[in-house]
Amino acid sequence: MRDQDQDITELLLRWSAGDEDALDRMMPAVYDELRRLAASYLRREHRHRTLDTVALVSEAYLRLVDQSRVEWQNRDQFFALAARMMRRVLVDHARSHRYAKRGGGRQRVSLDEAPLLGEERAAELVALHEALADLAALDPDLERVVELRYFGGFSQDEVGRILGWSGRTVARRWRLARAWLHEELSGAAEAR
């Protein structure tokens, strides 16, 4: 374990024990990695997205520090939960965008001010989130692999370390999850 990884783990453990200053010292140490995660998520978004990396990191960070029942164990656990929080922020954003597109919370704006997240892309993100929820009901480990690989941008080896699996197991589970999601999302697209 690198020194910085060990420092982050130590700060997480102190934070879990109630040391609020540990959280303040940890944020500069994890900020670049959180930005990398956010950029990984946003690369898959429409090029005219309404969220930027800083906004996504900020919203996910607020949700992370609000986690009162998490017993922090290490940096990998922290970043895995950060990836999940970022996914939820994007899904919530897409849902609220779709709500607004259907007339909810009507407000007159010029075309230049209109939200730029495409309706189709928002629908795809919500469909993927729903498919992942179905996958989690069948096999929570498969959902975690997708979340960490696709959304978190973690390598196969990093996912293996986080989940305590070999690289071959991660590769096999990743292929299985992708095939299941492809089948599920293809069926959902045909149903629309």
* pTM listed for this prediction: 0.64
Provide the percentage of residues in the chain whose pLDDT is more than 90: 18
Q: What is the pLDDT of residues 17-32, one digit of tens each?
A: 888 888 888 888 888 8
Helices within the chain (DSSP H only): 3-16, 20-43, 53-65, 75-101, 119-138, 140-146, 156-163, 167-191
Going from N- to C-terminal start, the domains of the chain cover 3-191
For a pLDDT cut of 70, what percent of the chain falls above it?
A: 79
Model confidence pLDDT, tens digit, residues 103-161 = 444 443 333 333 444 556 667 778 888 898 999 999 999 999 998 888 777 889 989 98
Per residue, the 3-state secondary structure of 110-122, as one string, reads CHHHCCCCCHHHH
Cβ of 36: how many Cβ atoms within 10 Å?
Answer: 14
